[in-house]
Structure 1
Amino acid sequence: MPLATTRRTGLVDQVIGQLRDAIAQGEWPLGQRIPTEAALAESLGVGRNTVREAVRALAHSGLLEVRQGDGTYVRATSEVSGAIRRLCGSELREVLGVRRALEVEAARLAATVRTDEELTAITELLDRRDAAYRVEDIETYVHADTEFHLAVVRAAHNDLLTELYRGILEAVTASVAATTDTHLPESEAIGHRGLLEAIAARDAERAMAEAAGFLDSLIREA
């Protein structure tokens, strides 16, 4: 674990920063247990109390989850994601509601300001998504579906909107996986061809309706 030895001043803040960086850079993947308090203290050259305070702070911000008697696990990869997870919990309906709030506006903006290159990328992702489903490659399907929605958000050209959406990306992926078995990509409720066509035609009203339509359907059945 490539963590640098800390200086003596501001030890807790330094440890928080280094643990946060390790999580963001994938040293410990989402859902993985991090090293023990003692191991971290030795690696960082600080006391266990310092590590304990840093872990407590990161657990409060949602990045880590302390499980009594089991260890500490990576719960999110950013503070934004952690905050959204705390708000949404594991309730599918709540995750879908947050998605609706962001994706409908993203669809409107994307239909207005998207570039030809972005439209091509969105189209390719949707093609990949549907092709994966046809060959029952659910893992690729879920990943491509998530990337499709992220590409639409990026095409909105609103940096804050994109950052907020990236913050809930793990929850988005989980919601796609949770609704894949009973909602086929070719079905009227979940298909995204209408959304793609609206963005291509620069029809903002239709894009909003398409984005809201499939999410409202999922919310009703969640």
Structure 2
Amino acid sequence: MVAPLRRNLLADQAADLLLRRLAAGEWEVGAKLPGETTLAAELGVGRSTVREALRMLAGQGLLRARQGAGVFVERTEPVRGDGWESVLRAESIAAVVEVRNAIEVEAARLAAGRADEDDELAMRRALDRRAVAFAEGDREFVDADIDVHRAVVVAAHNPVLTELFETFVPRLTEAMVEMVELLGVRDRDPDPDADEHRALVDAVVSGDAEAAVAISRAHLEAMLAAVRRLGR
């Protein structure tokens, strides 16, 4: 029995441990992996964590899910590019960006129809703070960037959406700090996304829901594309 995982980022670590077991020959090419319940018990994590780990490995061509049959081994070692650690990091960040897309695009749409003067003031202040934080450090910049998006979410005036976003912020922060480092975002001066953030706030303030949605979605899709290129 494999010892349970005890650190953070369990999906990443579960994928790494499964990769080690593949490389050690525990399962040959063509073999069917144990079910999610069995793997979850072996790794000491939940089934959703196992499912995400299997998705990561499938994304690298190591595994293939067959509808109604299970998950099978396609390869026992990844194609080496920038290294498995970079692949795992990119996969983890991409998953976070996908959730951002689900939350923030809808928040932008709602905020465009509900933002009041207090919301505008909060968004403008967050933009100003973000501009200053660009020169301060990765974590400071990420915190300030998230504050802009938080202000948009709050402007949607949906308490459930706000609670969902706040619950997500710790994971979001860690992923975005990693992304800023991996992509060298702060190496590009001036900030390449400053105008995009300002345009989002302008669209929300003007009540242009269509523009707010388009800007938010385009921003996150570009981010997702950049992150996925890291995992290739």
Q: What band does the TM-score fall into relative to the shorter chain?
A: 0.5 to 0.7
Q: Residue 129 in 1 paired to residue 130 in 2?
A: yes
Give how far 1:189 is off. 8.7
Counterpart residue number, 2:112 = 111
Give per-residue Cα distances to partners, 1:171-219, cap 9 Å, x unaligned: 2212321232433573159831110110121110000011111100011
Distance 2:120 2:150 in 1: 13
**What is the TM-score normalised by the length of structure 1?**
0.57
Structure 2 portions without partners, runs of 5+:
11-45, 54-88, 228-232
Q: Residue 157 in 1 paired to residue 157 in 2?
A: yes
Counterpart residue number, 2:145 = 145
Q: AA paired with 2:180?
A: T
Distance 2:122 2:223 in 1: 25
Q: AA paired with 1:143?
A: D
Distance 1:161 1:121 in 2: 18
**What is the TM-score normalised by the length of structure 2?**
0.55
Distance 1:205 1:168 in 2: 25
How many residues align? The count is 145
Counterpart residue number, 2:177 = 177
Give how far 1:146 is off. 1.3
Structure 1 portions without partners, runs of 5+:
1-64, 76-82
Give how far 1:88 is off. 6.5
1:54-133 equivalence runs, <5 A: 67=6, 86=49, 91-133=92-134
Q: AA paired with 2:185?
A: H
TM-align CA RMSD: 2.8
Higher relative contact order (CA 8 A, sep 6+): 2
Question: Does the 8 Å contact 1:189/1:217 carry over to 2?
Answer: no
Question: Does the 8 Å contact 2:196/2:215 carry over to 1?
Answer: no
Question: Does the 8 Å contact 2:106/2:213 carry over to 1?
Answer: yes
SS at match of 2:185: coil
Question: Does the 8 Å contact 1:88/1:94 carry over to 2?
Answer: no
Question: Does the 8 Å contact 1:146/1:176 carry over to 2?
Answer: no
Counterpart residue number, 1:220 = 225
